Amino acid sequence: MTNSYDDPNFFDAYAKMPRSRDGLKSAGEWPDFQRLLPPLTGQRVLDLGCGYGWHCRYAAAHGAASVLGIDSSQRMLAAAKARTASAKITYELADLATFERPAGSFDVVLSSLAFHYVQDLTGLMARVTTMLSPGGTVLFTIEHPLFTAEGHEQWVATADGRKVWPVDRYFDEGLRKTTFLGQQVPKYHHTLATIMNSLLASGLTLTGISEPRGSEADIAENQPWTRAPMMLIVRGQKA
Residue 65: pLDDT over 60: yes
* 25, 79, 197, 205 from 74: Cα distances, Å: 24, 9, 32, 34
Residue range 146-160: mean pLDDT, rounded: 92
Residue 111's pLDDT is 98
Residue range 51-67: mean pLDDT, rounded: 97
Band the pLDDT of 139: cuts 50, 70, 90.
Answer: very high
Residue 226's pLDDT is 85
Residue 96's pLDDT is 92
Residue 37's pLDDT is 98
Residue 1's pLDDT is 47
- 202 dihedral zone (left: phi>0; alpha: psi -120 to 50; beta): alpha
* 165, 175, 194, 216 from 170: Cα distances, Å: 13, 12, 12, 29
Band the pLDDT of 170: cuts 50, 70, 90.
Answer: very high
Structural domain boundaries, residue 35: 4-237
What phi, psi does 160 have (nearest 5°)?
-95, 10
Residue 202: pLDDT over 60: yes
Residue 109's pLDDT is 98
Locate the DSSP E strands across the chain.
44-48, 66-71, 89-93, 106-112, 132-143, 156-157, 163-164, 174-180, 183-189, 205-210, 231-237
Of the candidate ranges 2-16, 66-80, 144-158, the one whose mean pLDDT is the lowest: 2-16
Residue 27: pLDDT over 90: no
Residue 32's pLDDT is 94
Residue 210: pLDDT over 90: yes
Radius of gyration, alpha carbons of the chain: 18
Band the pLDDT of 127: cuts 50, 70, 90.
Answer: very high
What phi, psi does 150 have (nearest 5°)?
-70, -35
Its sign, for the CA torsion 204, 207, 212, 214, is: negative
Residue range 211-234: mean pLDDT, rounded: 86
Residue 130's pLDDT is 98
**Mean pLDDT of the residues in the chain:** 93
Residue 182's pLDDT is 79
Residue 2's pLDDT is 59
CATH number for the domain including 198?
3.40.50.150
* 77, 120, 149 from 169: Cα distances, Å: 35, 19, 6
Count structural domains, the chain. 1
Query: Does the global pTM surpass 0.85?
Result: yes
